[in-house]
């Protein structure tokens, strides 16, 4: 546990102080877009969690984390700090989970802050006497869980790609290719499935299937990252 705390502290400092991550432009753009512009555009649809706003809420943080997660290992390799990190007594799991914890925690926390800001913006724009919140509340909680799972999917996949990439640029290019493949895979599955099967499912069943698939993919990618994180091989690379 102490190794994990040490790694989280190290990653958090790097997250705030190094290179692209120190640039506040990207987070501010996400805050402005997801917390102000879109809530003002959708207003009641946003607070009512209509399908279009929900898709944006899920996709925007996914896109944000993919813009920097490739730096997780490849960036250390480029900055020649990977050898020092691997020579420390910090365990492999602590290194890996520390990087994931900070990246996922920051992105998911930012998403939650944007949603809260969006609710305030919508209420102010509608000049509500009695303020309203995201409704139904059960759907709001489901959106939060889906958001966490999609962010974790991007982070775990990004770390796995970063492990096998020589440079941050190569990792970023592979991430883009992975996003395209994932998009085509989702599209292909929806096209292959008979419409009768989809029509026979309730909304709760569809949401449950999506949650199960995302959770399974997260477990697979996390396991693959743990297996691929071999200190001796990384030192030699």
Give the start-to-end residue ranges of the domains of the chain: 2-236
Give 26-75 pLDDT, tens digit per residue. 788 888 999 999 999 999 999 999 988 999 999 999 988 888 888 888 88
pLDDT of residue 16: 66
Contacts of residue 199, Cβ cutoff 8 Å, sequence gap at least 6: none
- Tell me the CB-side half-sphere exposure of residue 176, using CA atoms within 13 A: 6
**What is the three-class DSSP state of 194?**
coil
The single-letter DSSP state of residue 20 is: G
Q: How confident is the model at residue 90 (pLDDT cuts 50, 70, 90)?
A: confident
Note whether 149 and 215 are within 8 A (CB): yes
pTM for the model: 0.88
């Amino acid at each position: 546990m102490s190794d994990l705390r040490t790694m989280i502290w190290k990653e958090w400092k790097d997250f705030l102080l190094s290179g692209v991550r120190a640039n506040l432009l990207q987070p501010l753009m996400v805050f402005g877009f997801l917390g102000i512009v879109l809530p003002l555009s959708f207003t009641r649809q946003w607070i009512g969690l209509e399908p279009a706003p929900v898709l944006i809420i899920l996709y925007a943080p996914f896109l944000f984390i993919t813009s920097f997660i490739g730096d997780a290992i490849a960036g250390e390799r480029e900055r020649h700090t990977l050898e020092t990190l691997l020579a420390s007594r910090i365990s492999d799991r602590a290194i890996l989970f520390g990087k994931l914890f900070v990246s996922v925690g920051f992105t998911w926390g930012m998403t939650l802050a944007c949603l809260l800001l969006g609710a305030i913006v919508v209420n102010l724009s509608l000049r509500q006497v009695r303020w309203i919140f995201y409704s139904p509340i059960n759907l709001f909680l489901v959106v939060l869980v889906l958001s966490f799972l999609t962010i974790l999917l991007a982070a775990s996949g990004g770390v796995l790609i970063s492990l096998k990439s020589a440079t941050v640029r190569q990792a970023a290019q592979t991430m883009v290719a992975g996003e395209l493949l994932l998009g085509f895979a989702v599209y292909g599955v929806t096209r292959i499935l008979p419409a009768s099967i989809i029509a026979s499912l309730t909304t709760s069943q569809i949401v449950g299937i999506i949650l199960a698939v995302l959770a399974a993919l997260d477990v697979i990618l996390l396991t693959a990252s743990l297996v691929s994180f071999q200190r001796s091989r990384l030192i030699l690379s």
